[in-house]
Structure 1
Amino acid sequence: MIDLLILIVAAFAAGALNTVAGGGTFLTLPALIFTGVPPVIANATSAVAVFPGYASGALGFLPEMRSFDRALLLRLTLVTLAGAATGSLLLLVSSDRAFSLIVPVLLLAATLIFLFGDRIRAWAAARNSAVTPYGAAGLFMVSIYGGYFNGGLGIVLLALFALWGMTDLHRMNGLKNGLSFVLSTISVAVFAIAGLVAWPQALAMMVAATAGGFVGAPLARMIPKHALRLLIAAIGFGMSAVFLIRLF
């Protein structure tokens, strides 16, 4: 019962956090591993758990989503699906040992991106003249990362959007949540077919993440980011250390 409560609280907070800025996996993945789920299955279950939260978060930014050209959204969706499928298939061939070797590096990189997200976006925005707006290559690579390991995906996407020259954070958040939902759709399908999902935990967390996603949209317009960013960074650095210790 205590394990279930930990997972529900983590999923609710992750759903809200993913809508606000990203980084919800820093809460769901540690919670799953803490309650005894093996690393690869925990990663897949975490992706399933936050999946509906992206949908509710995207609905919260529906006005911003409608401001994008439909043909552009369709092209970005197709690129995201291709990258997500590639990343998800890579996870299927990863053993717990291989994933445990790779994930500290991914966690550390995602945490640094999360912690310095604003600076990265500012740096990227200052150099957008050299980058093709809405380019497929960058989105494809980010989608591979998201299909394999979801941690910090939202912040990576926001940095990519800044590279494209986007400046309206609400439109960026709407697009981030929409593409994250698309990415998670293919990941969930691949993981479910492969039998990598711990469904009792996933179902309870999906409900909590959905509720958190609805809460997250209004929070995104009012919550100060500094304290939240430091908390999630601490969790990310802590989990990187935990995975490194587990190797020895």
Structure 2
Amino acid sequence: MKLSPDAVTSLLTSLFPSGMIDDLAREREVVVRDRKLDVQVLVWTLIVGFAVGGEARSIGGYRRTYNGATGQDLFPSSFYDRLTPQLEQLLRDLLDYAVEEVAVPHTVAPAFKHFRDIIVADATVVRLHRFLSAFPATHPNVSGLNLYLVHSVTAQSVIAWAITDERTHESTLFKTGKWMCGRLFLLDLGFFKYHRFARVDENGRFFVSRLKRSSNPRIVRELREWRGRAIPFEGKKVFDVLGDVCRRLRFRRNAH
């Protein structure tokens, strides 16, 4: 579902308590002598403009949005002077807060009580301005950062995170070890690696992963008995029988 700009703005502005941006701005010395700068509007211009996209995602677009929201008329050079390392640190502080403190209410099904924790590892690419050469991308003439998170579903907390350039593969950031014991790991294809799965299994841990088409593993055991003329799976390879399973499901839907 695609959110409207107003919905994105409402969602983002609900993340931080009132006055938090002002307090952090003073702590980070984003505003020292220039009292005319509305730091809250500047921060939300950058955040919302990036989230919504479109013309506002250029520096000139940010400046025009800020001027329109405040009624000021900052020249380009004056606006660029506001993009300081102190402002960068303020934005990092806000990101840390959003990642570490904001939790979504959830319910864990009883089937997961066998595990002391459920862990989700994933990463996403954030496209950046092409001149940010510190974050090289996998495509020419663009830049991008890779946001990597390891999230505890049970505790609703982030237990590991990293920000790298886009070329750094998320799989290299996932570290195995004793901390994994007793946990169920939900992994995307980016983390698909036989050696990793073997390490998880040999230490009494558990994982669920999407399956690469090229792997085609053999089914060693069925965990459920089906009524009627069920198709036997044991000893067969997953993608060799998947077509029959799909056809059978379609037939049953049509029959009803």
TM-score by length of 2: 0.21
Higher helix share: 1
Of the two, which has the highest radius of gyration? 2
TM-score by length of 1: 0.22
